[in-house]
Chains A and B, each alone.
Chain A
Amino acid sequence: MRLADTLHFARAAATGYPARTALSVLAMAIGVAAVVVLTALGDGARRYVVSQFSSLGTNLVIVLPGRSGTGGFNPATAITSTPRDLTIDDAASLRRLPAVARVAPLAVGTSEISAGGRLRETMVAGTARDYFAIRNFEIAQGDALPDDDWNRGAPVAVIGARIQEELFGSTPALGQRVRVGDRRLRIVGVLKPTGQGLGMNTDELVIVPVALAQAMFNSNTLFRVLVEASSRDAIPAARESVLNTLKQRHRGEEDVTVITQDAVLATFDRLLGALTLAVAGIAAISLAVAGILVMNVMLVAVTQRTGEIGLLKALGASGRDIRRAFLAEAAMLSAVGAVVGYLLGQAGAFALRQAFPVFPAYPPDWAVIAGLATALGTGLLFGVMPARRAARLDPVQALMKH
């Protein structure tokens, strides 16, 4: 029997029993759709986290005051040693290090901002000009903070898009005076709107010189020091030299924590990658179940069509012809199921992306290929047994069943 005829015959057989064909196609489709949607979710989560981390800046080395992170929480040191302040001078000392491109000190707090009788609560970030470059902030109007001495807090502020809108509406904000806490500041810049991200929402942020923020919040320590390494390869060297410099400045005590964005990112990447794999594995189980269902459906088909098989043999069909016809039918059920499932899954992922636009719910290629291959594989594998059973039927016995 020719291949085209075998396929044609198998298709006619499959469509001749719509209910059981629909059932096995559906089972296979659900399995494949589950793989596609679940891996889209998992990989979407991974991409989301990775992109959010990247938006914090590139090649970042972050300094936190206090010893934590590495080695875990240590109750002894937590009680006995209060961490030394991480000062503006500490941060400034890092600017001259060879592997370091940019440094920005960061002090944060909340305060009230008011202008023209309107008042609201806001997050205040005290930092320096390089912060804008490190975080890739885009300026809508005016300029970033002036490139002053970090210890001299000029009375200026850069405000987020939302703040500008709420306090000034459509009137220009640039050059206007606002009151932040007990200070009167002049607005020198407005940030472009960005929306919600993993870090701070910059739309509702007021950025002022770091010395000013420290004075406002009456604190000497920094919240963070952001260090941008000169290149990706320079990150370990930058981390090392930052740590050494601060240790020296703190009389040999290692009382800061230095984390690299890369390490955090890699951890999340691995974690969420593993999660996606696990989810794909679970979905694959439903594919195996679908495969077993296809096998049962095909076994029923063999029983149902025993008479027909006998007839085909009487008409000159070889065992090979029969085996191939049934195998083709099983493969067809699986293939159609896989394609339907793929389309359903892609539609599901599309719906997810529509519902949550920030969430890149695209199924990874490997998952799609593995899902389709598993569907076809199980379909064929579980089709072999019924097909062989059909091929071995005794023609006379089979004919008598008609």
Chain B
Amino acid sequence: MPLIELAGIDRSFLLGDTTVHALAGLNLQINAGEYVAVMGPSGSGKSTLLNLLGLLDRPQAGTYRLDGRDVTTLSPDEQAAVRSAKIGFVFQSFHLVPRLTAAENIALPMTLAGIPAAERQRRVDQALKDFGLDHRADHKPDQLSGGQRQRVAIARATIMQPPLLLADEPTGNLDRHTGDEVIHLLEALNARGVTLIIVTHDASLGARARRRLIMEDGHLKSDSAAEA
């Protein structure tokens, strides 16, 4: 059974009088543990797809099964619970809460999930060590470099140990070297079994993924898995 199963997904936006079909009749299956790069020109629907996979957005038509369960019909709060337990996000612009320290940002998903403080502390300490942030625990985001910020964001995305990690251009705001470090971190997580889906414009990054999806105008133009 695939981890992700999209069938006949439609997502369109009304822009004035015109309807923009960000996703149209999309079918897609992704198995647990896969490493997928989503590529394609700007406006082709990559972010829309990722938002849908992350249950931040709802399709107008079609079904989305996550772990065999239809999640399109869930209530907003049920979807929140699914996000909390199963999905980690990494964004291009990090999205750290500026007034919280690195440690507090990392702990945020656990705080929201109601995990006791002692357990949070233990897991945050471990994560800080794993991501080389030991000495940055009490730094606010504006006291961190871009690479450190993205490492905090990744630590936060994985702290709940979700099976699915979604990253929308995670290296878009980083220089080549730092970007590579971040990618290595994400790949290491994938190596430990996390399903990794990365949206990227960078062909060399895309080439590293075991499976490449090329989007165009809301359709899947090519899928390396289907060609093989």
Chain B residues with CB under 8 A of A320: 77
Of the candidates A5, A316, A396, the one whose C-beta lies within 8 Å of that of B85 is: A316
Q: Is the CB of A315 within 8 A of B108?
A: yes
The answer to the question of B156 belonging to the interface, with a C-beta cut-off of 8 Å to chain A, is yes
Interface code A3-25, partner B: CB below 8 Å = 1, 0 otherwise? Answer: 01100010011011000000000
Task: Give B163 Cβ to nearest chain A Cβ, in Å.
Answer: 14
Chain A residues with CB under 8 A of B84: 315-317
Chain B residues with CB under 8 A of A402: 91, 93, 95
* Contact count band on A: 20 to 34
Q: A307-B95, A316-B109, A402-B95 are in contact. Are A1 and B114 (CB under 8 A)?
A: yes
The answer to the question of B80 belonging to the interface, with a C-beta cut-off of 8 Å to chain A, is yes
Q: Measured between alpha carbons, how far is A312 from B95 in the docked complex, in Å?
A: 10
The answer to the question of B89 belonging to the interface, with a C-beta cut-off of 8 Å to chain A, is yes
Q: Is the CB of A314 within 8 A of B112?
A: no
The answer to the question of B100 belonging to the interface, with a C-beta cut-off of 8 Å to chain A, is yes
Of the candidates B51, B112, B156, the one whose C-beta lies within 8 Å of that of A321 is: B112
A305 to chain B: closest residue by CB: B97
Q: Is the CB of A315 within 8 A of B109?
A: yes
Task: Give A366 Cβ to nearest chain B Cβ, in Å.
Answer: 40
Of the candidates B54, B80, B97, B112, the one whose C-beta lies within 8 Å of that of A308 is: B97
The answer to the question of B134 belonging to the interface, with a C-beta cut-off of 8 Å to chain A, is no
Q: Is the CB of B81 within 8 A of A316?
A: yes
Q: Is the CB of A316 within 8 A of B113?
A: yes
The answer to the question of B56 belonging to the interface, with a C-beta cut-off of 8 Å to chain A, is yes
Chain B residues with CB under 8 A of A318: 76-77, 80-81
Chain A residues with CB under 8 A of B93: 402
Q: Measured between alpha carbons, how far is A110 from B17 in the docked complex, in Å?
A: 98
Of the candidates A4, A5, A16, A312, the one whose C-beta lies within 8 Å of that of B99 is: A16
A5 to chain B: closest residue by CB: B111
Q: Is the CB of B112 within 8 A of A1?
A: yes
Of the candidates B51, B80, B116, B117, the one whose C-beta lies within 8 Å of that of A316 is: B80
Q: A316-B83, A318-B77, A319-B77 are in contact. Are A9 and B111 (CB under 8 A)?
A: yes
Task: Give A389 Cβ to nearest chain B Cβ, in Å.
Answer: 15
Q: A12-B99, A12-B100 are in contact. Are A314 and B81 (CB under 8 A)?
A: no
Q: Is the CB of B57 within 8 A of A396?
A: yes
Task: Give B173 Cβ to nearest chain A Cβ, in Å.
Answer: 12
The answer to the question of B160 belonging to the interface, with a C-beta cut-off of 8 Å to chain A, is yes
Chain A residues with CB under 8 A of B160: 316
Main secondary structure of the interface of A (DSSP, over half): helix
Q: Measured between alpha carbons, how far is A319 from B85 in the docked complex, in Å?
A: 16
Q: Measured between alpha carbons, how far is A314 from B57 in the docked complex, in Å?
A: 10
The answer to the question of A118 belonging to the interface, with a C-beta cut-off of 8 Å to chain B, is no
Task: Give A115 Cβ to nearest chain B Cβ, in Å.
Answer: 81
The answer to the question of A2 belonging to the interface, with a C-beta cut-off of 8 Å to chain B, is yes
Q: Is the CB of A315 within 8 A of B83?
A: yes
Q: Measured between alpha carbons, how far is A396 from B109 in the docked complex, in Å?
A: 18
Chain A residues with CB under 8 A of B89: 314-315
Task: Give B5 Cβ to nearest chain A Cβ, in Å.
Answer: 22
Chain A residues with CB under 8 A of B109: 315-316
Of residues 60 to 108 in B, which have CB atoms within 8 Å of A's CB atoms? Answer: 76-77, 80-81, 83-85, 89, 91, 93, 95, 97-100, 108
Task: Give B141 Cβ to nearest chain A Cβ, in Å.
Answer: 12
The answer to the question of A313 belonging to the interface, with a C-beta cut-off of 8 Å to chain B, is yes
Q: Measured between alpha carbons, how far is A402 from B96 in the docked complex, in Å?
A: 10
Chain A residues with CB under 8 A of B91: 399, 402
Of the candidates B56, B85, B156, the one whose C-beta lies within 8 Å of that of A313 is: B56
Q: Is the CB of B97 within 8 A of A317?
A: no
Interface code A298-327, partner B: CB below 8 Å = 1, 0 otherwise? Answer: 000000000110011111111111000000
Task: Give B106 Cβ to nearest chain A Cβ, in Å.
Answer: 11
Of the candidates B51, B98, B112, B117, the one whose C-beta lies within 8 Å of that of A312 is: B112
Q: Is the CB of A317 within 8 A of B80?
A: yes
Q: Measured between alpha carbons, how far is A12 from B81 in the docked complex, in Å?
A: 24
Interface code A218-252, partner B: CB below 8 Å = 1, 0 otherwise? Answer: 00000000000000000000000000000000000
Q: Is the CB of A396 within 8 A of B113?
A: no
A395 to chain B: closest residue by CB: B56
Q: Measured between alpha carbons, how far is A12 from B108 in the docked complex, in Å?
A: 13
Q: Measured between alpha carbons, how far is A4 from B156 in the docked complex, in Å?
A: 21
Q: Is the CB of A313 within 8 A of B80?
A: yes
Task: Give A277 Cβ to nearest chain B Cβ, in Å.
Answer: 44
Task: Give B161 Cβ to nearest chain A Cβ, in Å.
Answer: 13
Chain B residues with CB under 8 A of A15: 99
Q: Is the CB of B112 within 8 A of A317?
A: yes
Task: Give A397 Cβ to nearest chain B Cβ, in Å.
Answer: 9
Q: Measured between alpha carbons, how far is A1 from B111 in the docked complex, in Å?
A: 6
Q: Is the CB of B100 within 8 A of A314?
A: no
Task: Give A314 Cβ to nearest chain B Cβ, in Å.
Answer: 5
Q: Is the CB of B111 within 8 A of A319?
A: no
Q: Measured between alpha carbons, how far is A308 from B108 in the docked complex, in Å?
A: 12
Q: Measured between alpha carbons, how far is A131 from B215 in the docked complex, in Å?
A: 107
Offer 12 A-B interface pairs, CB within 8 angstroms, sorted by A.
A1-B111, A1-B114, A4-B117, A12-B99, A16-B99, A307-B95, A311-B97, A312-B108, A316-B83, A318-B80, A321-B112, A399-B95
Task: Write the residues of chain A forming the contact surface with B, with a CB cutoff of 8 angstroms.
Answer: 1-2, 4-5, 9, 12-13, 15-16, 307-308, 311-321, 395-396, 399, 402
Q: Known contacts A319-B77, A399-B91; can you find 10 more A-B pairs with CB under 8 A?
A: A1-B111, A4-B117, A312-B108, A314-B56, A314-B89, A315-B108, A315-B109, A316-B112, A321-B80, A399-B95
